[in-house]
Amino acid sequence: MLDHLVSYARTHGLVAEPGFAPKTARWAILCDPAGAFQEVLDLADPEEKGSPGKTFPRCPELSQPEIKRGGSGCRHFLVDSADVVALHAADAPDAKLHAKHAYFTGLLRQAAEVMPRLAGVAAMLDDEASQQAIRDQLLARKAKPTDKVTFAIFGESPLYPVESDAWHDWWRRFRRTLGTDPSVPLAEKEGAPLVRCLASGELVEPVATQPKIAGLSDVGGLAMGDVLASFKQEAFCSYGFVQAANAPVSEQIGAEYRAALNHLLREHSRRLVSAKVVHWFKERVPPEDDPLRWLAGSDEQDELNAQQRARELLDAIRTGKRPSLAGNRYYSLTLSGASGRVMIRDWMEGQFEDLVERIDAWFAHLSIVRRDGRGLAPPPKFFAVLGALVRDLKELPAPLETAMWRVAVRREPIPRQAMAQALARMKIDILGNETLNHARVGLLKAFHVRQGDRQMHPNLNEDHPEPAYHCGRLMAVLAALQESALPNVGAGVVQRYYAAASSTPALVLGRLVRTAQFHLNKLKPGHAYWYEGRLANIWSRIRDHVPPTLSLEEQSLFALGYYQQIASDRAGIVKPDSQETEVAAGPKETDHD
């Protein structure tokens, strides 16, 4: 995994030198060449809703150990928070904040040896009148103390000092004063133990603490970042190694995999519920040909055409029309944060062609007839499938969401837990006379298809071999019969008997069939004869094999038979009077899921 991340950083030209990293600044303090304050610039993109500001690809950065070695008040250079840069704090700045501000301006003065204009910037930040003017504008624009701030010098090229390379060598020298010089040969480092790097396989001096990964704060991580390999507690250390030496990588490799992960999380991640998925390809793939984008359903067009596009792309690969994709590979990483650590929930890789085939299979297995029986329901978004399992997505267990993503990508069986939860939610909908959810029913069907049930199709399966399926069909027809005979009845057959019939059909269905004779007597002879034929047809499939009890798997077959029979009836059935009508059974049809 680390090797692929390092390769991604290198092939995409990401900045991966230790001491440098991309940063996003929300505000810029504009001054003239002499260092006089002009105004505060808002760097957010006005055309992007919720824009965080302007990202600078190569900013100076210190690791946490370096900050500790830097002494009291040690801060970053050129880009820092508004409270440090301008003393823009919610309360009166304390001595600790003043120390950080002094360290920050001190770095500007030191760097003035290579960028003289920075001396004027430092003087501006130490001038009380200029400080107050900056704070007034930040306050008026509702800037937060934690917002990142940088500088702009009017008339200079480049406008932002952070975009200049004039300070780079100075910054490298400064980092050496903190004792982290990666350019010094390992042989010159007294007593430095050499170990094999996990990613490169070379003998290296391992970095003491691995770099922090940003972008997981909304899935359990910390705003300041999380560490991929952390060994703070002695119980997690082995063979006398301390800290990150237990999972050794060089400082350069650490910077590269961190650059890759941060870029993927920022540009190519998708949040599930309590985790994020990042994925990439060995060779670049156009967004419109990205199967995982179709799976997640980035937009309405993706949702409507996902399966069709998957099949077209698969055909193009197999016929040689897209040779560049034939040998491509995909990589998928599922991540979350936990107390400052990066949690790797899953890692997948494989052939691009296999991925397209599996995404096509995912949609095919989930396909289900519409509630009104008129064609198939649209392919569901992945989130719709997750939502089909619970009342609220926040209730979804974290391991289950990860497992479902793997099921879709790797064509694995639907977990029994997912089937059970979908079945329970469907039963609640049926008993409550609620609209039945397409994704929920499709998931029950997919469970059986992936268990090897070749008789399970999206529409009514009249020849299905399992009696449990036909018991569900029988329940749907009995409900329709009651509705035809007693259209204004209160609690119907479904509300009163579905729960018992779906678990103990032998105990319930015989009684309902005997009661159905009274309903038949209330119908016109031709209509009653028609219902008798339907009941007899279903009984011929069940014969004398009415199960006394049903397992969860059989209860899901019962639910599928019930649903598909209703959908078939709603598609329009020719009654004895040769008029096209719909049989009212189960929940009423609506236009939404």
Contact 42, 27 (CB under 8 A): yes
Read off the pLDDT of each residue in 199-218 and give the average, rounded to a whole number.
84
Contact 272, 399 (CB under 8 A): no
Tell me which residue range forms the domain holding 213. 3-9+182-267
Residue 590 has pLDDT above 50, yes or no: no
Is residue 359 domain-shared with residue 389, that is, in the same domain? yes
Q: Of the candidates 421, 450, 479, which is a domain's last residue? A: 450
Specify the number of domains making up the chain.
4
Give the pLDDT score at 451.
94
Q: How confident is the model at residue 582 (pLDDT cuts 50, 70, 90)?
A: very low
Q: Is 60 helix (H, G, I), strand (E, B) or coil?
A: strand
Read off the pLDDT of each residue in 450-474 and give the average, rounded to a whole number.
94
Ramachandran category for residue 157: left, alpha or beta (phi over 0 → left; psi -120 to 50 → alpha): beta
DSSP state of 369: B
Q: How confident is the model at residue 239 (pLDDT cuts 50, 70, 90)?
A: low
Is residue 233 domain-shared with residue 324, that is, in the same domain? no
Is residue 98 domain-shared with residue 192, that is, in the same domain? no
Read off the pLDDT of each residue in 196-209 and give the average, rounded to a whole number.
81
DSSP state of 197: -
Please give the structure tokens belonging to residue 338: 């936990």
Read off the pLDDT of each residue in 546-554 and give the average, rounded to a whole number.
94
Give the pLDDT score at 482.
86
For residues 369 and 579, which has the higher predicted lDDT (pLDDT)?
369
Q: What is the CA radius of gyration of the chain?
A: 32
Give the pLDDT score at 299.
52
Q: In this structure, which amino acid lies at residue 171?
A: W
The per-residue pLDDT of the chain, averaged, comes to 87
Decide if 589 is inside a domain. Answer: no
Please give the structure tokens belonging to residue 84: 């440090």
Do β-strands 329-338 and 341-351 pair in parallel, antiparallel, or remain unpaired?
Answer: antiparallel
Contact 334, 277 (CB under 8 A): yes
Decide if 391 is inside a domain. Answer: yes
Residue 292 has pLDDT above 60, yes or no: yes
For residues 497 and 50, which has the higher predicted lDDT (pLDDT)?
497
Please give the structure tokens belonging to residue 389: 């399992």
Q: What is the DSSP string of 254-294?
A: HHHHHHHHHHHHHHSEEE-SS-EEEEEESS---GGG-HHHH
Read off the pLDDT of each residue in 440-445 and give the average, rounded to a whole number.
97
Is residue 129 domain-shared with residue 216, that is, in the same domain? no
Is residue 309 domain-shared with residue 163, that is, in the same domain? no
> Who contacts 63 (Cβ-Cβ below 8 Å, separation ≥6)?
180, 209, 211, 212
Q: Is the dihedral of CA 520, 524, 526, 530 positive or negative?
A: negative
What is the 3-state secondary structure of 90-146? CCCCCHHHHHHHHHHHHHHHHHCCCCCHHHHHHHHHHCHHHHHHHHHHHHHCCCCCC
Do β-strands 27-31 and 148-153 pair in parallel, antiparallel, or remain unpaired?
Answer: parallel
Q: In this structure, which amino acid lies at residue 305?
A: N
Give the pLDDT score at 236.
67
Residue 241 has pLDDT above 80, yes or no: no
As a 3-state breakdown, the chain gives helix, strand, coil percent values, each rounded to 5, of 50, 15, 40
* pLDDT-wise least confident of 229-233, 298-302, 480-484: 298-302
Is residue 35 domain-shared with residue 166, that is, in the same domain? yes
Please state, in angstroms and rounded to a whole number, the distance separating the CA atoms of residues 459 and 373: 8
Q: Of the candidates 224, 247, 267, which is a domain's last residue? A: 267
> Who contacts 123 (Cβ-Cβ below 8 Å, separation ≥6)?
35
Q: Of the candidates 121, 142, 177, which is a domain's last residue? A: 177
DSSP state of 329: E
Question: Tens digits of per-residue pLDDT, 153-182?
Answer: 988 888 999 999 999 999 999 988 886 444
Strand partners, 203: 196
Contact 243, 209 (CB under 8 A): yes
Decide if 343 is inside a domain. Answer: no
Residue 40 φ/ψ, nearest 5 degrees: -100, 125
Decide if 455 is inside a domain. Answer: no
DSSP state of 184: S
Is residue 236 domain-shared with residue 372, that is, in the same domain? no
Question: Tens digits of per-residue pLDDT, 400-424?
Answer: 999 999 999 999 999 999 999 999 9
Is residue 392 domain-shared with residue 478, that is, in the same domain? no
Residue 117 has pLDDT above 50, yes or no: yes
Q: Which of 513, 529, 531, 537 is nearest to 463 (CA)?
A: 537
Decide if 460 is inside a domain. Answer: no
**Model-level pTM?**
0.78
Is residue 473 domain-shared with residue 528, that is, in the same domain? yes
Task: Provide the percentage of residues in the chain whose pLDDT is more than 70.
Answer: 90
Decide if 423 is inside a domain. Answer: yes
Is residue 283 domain-shared with residue 405, that is, in the same domain? yes
Is residue 516 domain-shared with residue 562, that is, in the same domain? yes
Angle between helices 438-450 and 552-570 (to 10 degrees): 130
Please state, in angstroms and rounded to a whole number, the distance separating the CA atoms of residues 551 and 9: 51
Decide if 457 is inside a domain. Answer: no
Please state, in angstroms and rounded to a whole number, the distance separating the CA atoms of residues 446 and 362: 8
DSSP state of 243: G
Q: In this structure, which amino acid lies at residue 248?
A: P
Please give the structure tokens belonging to residue 518: 């009274």
Decide if 559 is inside a domain. Answer: yes
Q: In this structure, which amino acid lies at residue 160?
A: Y
For residues 281 and 237, which has the higher predicted lDDT (pLDDT)?
281
Is residue 430 domain-shared with residue 476, that is, in the same domain? no
Question: Tens digits of per-residue pLDDT, 444-460?
Answer: 999 999 999 999 999 99
Question: Tens digits of per-residue pLDDT, 566-581?
Answer: 999 988 754 444 433 4
Give the pLDDT score at 246.
75
Give the pLDDT score at 184.
44
Give the number of other CB atoms < 10 A from CB of residue 146: 12
Read off the pLDDT of each residue in 4-29 and give the average, rounded to a whole number.
89
Please state, in angstroms and rounded to a whole number, the distance separating the CA atoms of residues 370 and 373: 5
Please state, in angstroms and rounded to a whole number, the distance separating the CA atoms of residues 311 and 359: 9
Q: What is the DSSP string of 492-553?
A: -HHHHHHHHHTT-HHHHHHHHHHHHHHHHHTS-HHHHHHHHHHHHHHHHHHTT---SS--HH
Residue 259 has pLDDT above 50, yes or no: yes
Give the pLDDT score at 530.
85
Read off the pLDDT of each residue in 520-536 and give the average, rounded to a whole number.
85
